[in-house]
């Protein structure tokens, strides 16, 4: 999984927390939907719905549809939280443009 999606420590911790609360310990699912401000919007849900494992860290496995695997390669999923809330953000050093919301991206 070296070229797969990478999880930061804060993203892995939040995914693990959400999986535990939802009753699916260690299992989360990510899929891409059409975005408003960029081509792909990241949606994260509890459980292993379908697809293949695209990232593993700190006891949590993140699954995604097999046909979206290539779109996620080389990206990093981060989590930022503060007193007003929090959210997952997509990061990459190259090849994507992110929207101001941080949850949508387009491959360049």
Decide: 64 and 51 in contact? Cβ < 8 Å.
yes
CA 88 from centroid of its chain's CA atoms: 7
How big is the chain, counted in residues? 108
Count the Cβ atoms, other than its own, within 10 Å of residue 89: 19
Mean pLDDT of the chain: 88
**pLDDT value for 2:** 47
CA 10 from centroid of its chain's CA atoms: 12
Share of the chain above pLDDT 90, in %: 52
Cα–Cα dist 36/16, whole Å: 28
Distances, alpha carbon 52 to alpha carbons 21, 24, 38, 56, 70, in Å:
22, 16, 24, 11, 12
Mean pLDDT, range 17-42, rounded to an integer:
92
């Amino acid at each position: 999984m070296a070229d797969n999606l990478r999880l930061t420590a804060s993203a892995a911790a939040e995914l693990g927390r959400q999986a535990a609360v939802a009753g699916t310990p260690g299992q989360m699912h990510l899929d891409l939907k059409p975005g408003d401000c960029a081509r792909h919007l990241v949606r994260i849900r509890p459980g292993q719905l379908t697809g293949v494992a695209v990232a593993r860290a700190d006891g949590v496995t993140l699954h995604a549809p097999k046909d979206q695997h290539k779109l996620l390669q080389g990206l990093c999923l981060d989590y930022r939280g503060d007193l007003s809330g929090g959210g997952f953000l997509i990061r990459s050093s190259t090849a994507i443009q992110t929207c101001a919301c941080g949850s949508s991206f387009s491959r360049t």
